[in-house]
Structure 1
C-alpha cells in the first residue's frame, strides 16, 4: 500500500493548473484502474435496479436451478430467477450499506480518536482506555456482538459494522493526532490563542488527512466484506431484499451443481473491495499533505534552590523566579531546567546562550506556556505583564498570550501548517483576537508581510509555506507575531541554518520590530557573538541553570564565570591565528538525568576545587547587574585569559 501510494504521488505534479493533479493521477496505472472500477460500481449501483430490476425479480418455474446458458448467462436460482441480473441489481444495496456503515464508523472513530485532544486529561485517558479495550477484540467478533445488540436486519447490521470499524479508526486518529500535536506550527497556533476545537479542526485534522482517507476507503472494503458475511450468516439483509452476501447464502446449496451461483456474488465483492482500495490510494496522493510507559512518582521533586530574578519594578514585563521543568522517565523525574531566574523589562533585549542541552529552548517554551504533559513546569514566580502564567486559566491567558507574546521558532518549515496558505495562517490571529472579518484579517496579514520586507506580499500571502525560502519563512513567522501588538518576542534560534546575509537581515528586522513596537526580545542562540551584538544583557546557561547574568558591555571585557570565558575563547574571529589549534571546551555537558552533585561544570573547569564538587553555587552579585554562580570566579578581565583557561583544561 505504501509503495503504491508513493508511486502514485510521484506521478502527480505539485501544481500545474486547476484540476491537473486529478488528471495526472487518473493517467497512472493505479489511478486508471481505480477510475474504471469505481465508475463501473457507481453506474451499476445507480442503473442496474432501473434497467434489470424486473428481470432479476421474475420467477420462472420452468427454469429452476438451471446452469449457465444463452438465456441465463450464469444460470438460475431455486425459483428460476436469473443469477446474473440479481448480482448486478444487488450492487446498489451491497455498496450503499457498506458506504453508510463506513461513514458512521469513520465519524464515530474520528470523534473518539480526537476527543482526548480537546477533553480534560482525565476524561481523555478514559476515552483512550475504552478505545484500547475495544481494539483488542477482532472486528468480526465485535460486529457479531453489536449485531445481537441492535437486532437482526439491515439497520442492525449497518450499526453493527459501523461500531466494529470505529475502534480501529479511533486508534489510528489518536496516533496520527499525537504526532502532529507536537509540531511547532501547532505550538505557534497555541501562542496565537487558537482554541482547542479550532486547533483540532484547522491544524491537526488537515495534516492527518492522507492516512485517514486511505484507511477510510480500506474500511469501506472491509465493511463490504463484513456486511456480506453477516448476510451470509442470516443476520444481515432479510428477504425480500438481497445483497451479495444473501445471494451467496442462497446459492450455497447448489454450489456443486452450478458453481456460478456462488462465484458471481463472490467475484462482485472482490472487485468492489478492490475498487475502494485503489480509489483510496489515488485520492490520498492528490489530497494528502503537500509537501513507552514507566512507573514514576506523581510529581517531580527537584532540589529547592534560591535564585535571584534581579530587580523588578513597574517596567518588568516577564519575571521568572526558580523556574523548573521536569519530565518523567523510567528511573524517575528528569529536570533539564533547574531553578532559572531572570527578569525581562519593557523594550529590553536579552540573549540566552549555552551549549546544546543547556535548557535554553525549554526555558523559552516554559515561559510561553508550551510545555505539554507529561512535562511539569513549576516556579516560585512566573509572571508576564503582571499576570501569573502558572495559576491563570488557559481561557484567561489566551487573549494575553495571543496578542502580547510572539514566538519565532528555530525551524519555520515545521512552524507553519503545510496545508494552509501563509496569508490565512497569519489572518487567523486577527480573526480570533481582534474580531476582524475574514477579508479584513487577510488584508492585515498582507500588510504585516510587507512590514517584514517580503516582496509581492499580496501574491505571497496566497502561497503555501513550501513556496517560501528559509529566510522568507522566518520573516513570515515574525510577521505572524506582529499580527497582534507583541510586547515580548521569544526567538528560539531564529537564524540557525541560514546564511550570514539572511541572518543579518533577520536580526535587523528583529531590531526594527523592537524599536517600532517597543517590544522586549528573548533571543535564544548558540552564537554568543550574535547575542553580544544584538542584546542588552546575556544569560549564560549550563546544565539547566543560569551560571552568569551580565550586561553585554561586560561580556568581552569582564566575564567572570569560567564557562563564559570558555565559550568566548572558542569563538572564531577574523584575527584568529589559523595555524594555532582551535580552542575547545574539554569534556561534554552532563545528561539532564545525570547532573552531578555540586557545580555541574566542575568536571570541565580548570579552577574547580573540593567545594565545587560538593556544593552547587548560588548566583551572587559581583557588579552592577552582574551575577555569577561560581565559587571561584575570575577576578581579572580580558579575552586572552579565557583562552588560557580553556587551554589549561585540556582538549577533547
Structure 2
C-alpha cells in the first residue's frame, strides 16, 4: 500500500511541476483546422472547440488543480483548528459561545455553504478557494474541539495553568502539539475531498474561469459531447478520482504509521546518590485552611465530597492524609492547589498560604503565588507530563516563565535536580520524552520538576501507589530528603497506613469529607481514639495475623455524598454509637498534646489491648 501510494503521489507531483513547461504551449495553441476532433493518433483525447489538444490541457492542469485544492484545505484546516483548539484555553463563557458557533456552522451542508460563498466572493479561483475554506473550517473545528477537550482534562494542562502561562503559550505548546497527529491525518484525507469539491465548483462555473482551466472546467467543457465523444469528459473525471484516491491512501498510510509504535528503551537505574548540604528547617506556618468545602453540581443533585476540612502544615513537616477511597482526600488537595474542575465550587472560612489570605489576592496574584510556592506530584506521572514535549522543556518551563531564567541556566538547574533524585543521566534524559522512561523514573522526574521552583509546599497525591516496593522506598526517601534540604512542607496522601506511619510526622484521618482525627504518626498503631481510625489500623494485616481467619474489614459503606449529614458521618458503621451521635455532628477538638478528634465518645486508649487479650 505504501509503494502504491507513493507512486501515485509521485506521479502527481511530477506532473504538477513539469506539466506546464512540457505541455503548456500545446495546451494553449488553437488549431482552427482540428476543432472538436475525436481521439486520434495526434490527439489521444481529441481537441476542444478551439482545436487545442485535450491531453496536453489535462496534464498541464494538474498543477493548478492540486495547488488550489491544497490551498483551500490548509486555509480551512488552519481556521477550523484554531477555532476548535481555542475552546481549551478560554474561559467558560467564551468556550460556550465558540461551541455554539461551531454547532451553528455545522448545521449547514458544506457544499451549499461553498456555493453560497463562491457566489459571494465572485466566480474565480480565489473565490472558490476561500469558499471551500469557509465550508470545511467547521468540520476541522469540531474535530479540534473534541480532541482539545480531552487535553483540557489532563494533569499537565492543570499544571500549566497553575504556572500562569498565557493562552497563546498554552495553545501552541500544550494543546496543539498533543492533538497534531490526528489533525494532520484528517487534513490529508480532506485534501482529496476538497479537490473533488473544487472541481465541482469549476464544473458549475463558480471556480476557475477561462482562460485558466483545471480538471473541473475541462470536465464541464467535455460534457457537451459526452454521447458522441465520451473520452474528453471521462478523462478529467479519471484524473480527479486518481488524485482523490491518492490523498485518501496517504491518510490511511499515515494513520497506520502513527499506530505503529516501537517499544521504548528504558534507561538503567542509577545507583549513585550524591551528598547534599543540610539546612535547618523553620517551624512557621506554610498552610492554614479552615472549614474547606467542595460542591460539585450534577444532573442527580449536588455532590459534597468535602464537608468542612480544617488543616495546617508547618515548614519542614510531612503530614499524611489517609482514608478510604471517596473520602475526599484528592479533592481536598486539588482545592488547596486551585486545580478543581471548573464546575466544582470551593468555599472556606480561612485559607492562608505563606501567611497571606487568598481572599486578599487577585486571580493573577493567586496563580503566581501557587506557581512559585506550591507544587503537586500526581499519582500517575504518565498523565502528569505532556507526551508531546521533551522532559527538559517541561522541567525548565516554570523557572523560565516566572523567574526569567535563561535557557542554559535553567537546563543546568534541571540537571542538578535530576542528580538530586538519583537520575544522573544528564542531557540524554532531558532530551527524552515521558513514554521513554519507566514508571519509577517518571515519578522521580516529577519530584525533580516539583523541586525546580523550591516550593514551600509539595502536595504528593499518592505518589507511590503504582510503584513496586523498592521504587516506593526510593520515592519516600527522596521526599524526606527534599523536606530536610529545603525545609519544604509535604502533604502526603496515601492509602497505605503502614507507609504513612513510617514516613510522616502527623497523620490526618479523613472520612466522608471531614477530618475525624489528627494525631502523631508514631501513635497511629496504638494511640488511635476514633472508632474509624481504629478500624482502619486494624484492617491492615501484619505478620502476626492469624491466617485461618479472614482479614478484618469495616462493615457498611460511607454516607451518600448527595445527602446531608445531621449527626456523626460514621454513625451507621460505628459499633460504639450512642443517641447523641445521631443528632449532633462532632467537631475536631483537642484530646491531648498534638492529638485532635471529632468524636463524642472517644475510645479508651487501652481498649485495643483489652480486645486483643479477650480474643
Whole-Å Cα distance in 1 between the matches of residues 250 and 358 of structure 2? 49
Q: Does 1:111 align with 2:82?
A: yes
Whole-Å Cα distance in 2 between the matches of residues 642 and 118 of structure 1? 58
Question: How many residues get paired?
Answer: 596
Specify the alignment match of 1:463 in structure 2: 432
SS, match of residue 104 in structure 1: helix
Q: Does 1:96 align with 2:67?
A: yes
Q: Does 1:175 align with 2:116?
A: no
Evaluate the alpha carbon distance shift between residue 640 and residue 265 of structure 1 in structure 2; reply closer, same or farther with a 3 A threshold: farther
Shift of 1:329: 0.9
Moved over 4 A (4+): 284-291, 594-597, 638-645
- Structure 2 counterpart of 1:204, from 175, 178, 181: 175
Mapping of residues 161-172 of structure 1, within 5 Å: 161-172=132-143
Specify the alignment match of 1:59 in structure 2: 30
Evaluate the alpha carbon distance shift between residue 224 and residue 591 of structure 1 in structure 2; reply closer, same or farther with a 3 A threshold: farther
Write the deviation string for residues 288-314 of structure 1: whole angstroms up to 9, x where unpaired: 8978xxxxxxxxxxxxxxxxxxxxx99
Specify the alignment match of 1:422 in structure 2: 391
Specify the alignment match of 1:330 in structure 2: 299
Shift of 1:168: 1.1
Deviates more, 1:437-446 or 1:273-282: 273-282
SS, match of residue 75 in structure 2: helix
Whole-Å Cα distance in 1 between the matches of residues 53 and 215 of structure 2? 14
Q: Does 1:519 align with 2:488?
A: yes
Specify the alignment match of 1:447 in structure 2: 416
Whole-Å Cα distance in 2 between the matches of residues 47 and 325 of structure 1? 67
Shift of 1:210: 1.4
Evaluate the alpha carbon distance shift between residue 330 and residue 398 of structure 1 in structure 2; reply closer, same or farther with a 3 A threshold: closer
Q: TM-score, normalised by structure 1?
A: 0.87
Whole-Å Cα distance in 1 between the matches of residues 356 and 216 of structure 2? 65
SS, match of residue 539 in structure 1: strand
Q: Does the CA-based 8 Å contact 2:162-2:368 persist in structure 1?
A: no
Whole-Å Cα distance in 1 between the matches of residues 613 and 45 of structure 2? 95
Shift of 1:413: 1.1
Specify the alignment match of 2:474 in structure 1: 505
Q: Unpaired segments of 5 or more residues in structure 2? A: 263-281
Specify the alignment match of 1:227 in structure 2: 198
Write the deviation string for residues 338-394 of structure 1: whole angstroms up to 9, x where unpaired: 111111111111110011111111111111111121122222222221334466344
RMSD between aligned residues = 2.3
Whole-Å Cα distance in 1 between the matches of residues 597 and 211 of structure 2? 88
Q: Does 1:44 align with 2:47?
A: no
SS, match of residue 323 in structure 1: strand
Q: Does the CA-based 8 Å contact 1:206-1:419 persist in structure 2?
A: yes
Whole-Å Cα distance in 2 between the matches of residues 501 and 360 of structure 1? 25
- Structure 1 counterpart of 2:375, from 391, 406, 416: 406
Q: Does the CA-based 8 Å contact 1:569-1:639 persist in structure 2?
A: no
Evaluate the alpha carbon distance shift between residue 543 and residue 127 of structure 1 in structure 2; reply closer, same or farther with a 3 A threshold: same
Specify the alignment match of 1:554 in structure 2: 523
Deviates more, 1:379-388 or 1:220-229: 379-388
Shift of 1:54: 0.9
SS, match of residue 252 in structure 1: helix
Q: Does 1:317 align with 2:286?
A: yes
Q: Does the CA-based 8 Å contact 1:110-1:170 persist in structure 2?
A: yes
Q: Does 1:258 align with 2:225?
A: no
Specify the alignment match of 2:533 in structure 1: 564
Shift of 1:473: 0.9
Q: Does 1:271 align with 2:242?
A: yes
SS, match of residue 418 in structure 2: helix
Q: Does 1:78 align with 2:49?
A: yes
Whole-Å Cα distance in 2 between the matches of residues 387 and 643 of structure 1? 48
SS, match of residue 48 in structure 2: coil
Whole-Å Cα distance in 2 between the matches of residues 235 and 335 of structure 1? 60
Whole-Å Cα distance in 2 between the matches of residues 641 and 36 of structure 1? 84
Q: Does 1:576 align with 2:545?
A: yes
Deviates more, 1:118-127 or 1:559-568: 118-127
Deviates more, 1:544-553 or 1:628-637: 628-637
Specify the alignment match of 2:462 in structure 1: 493
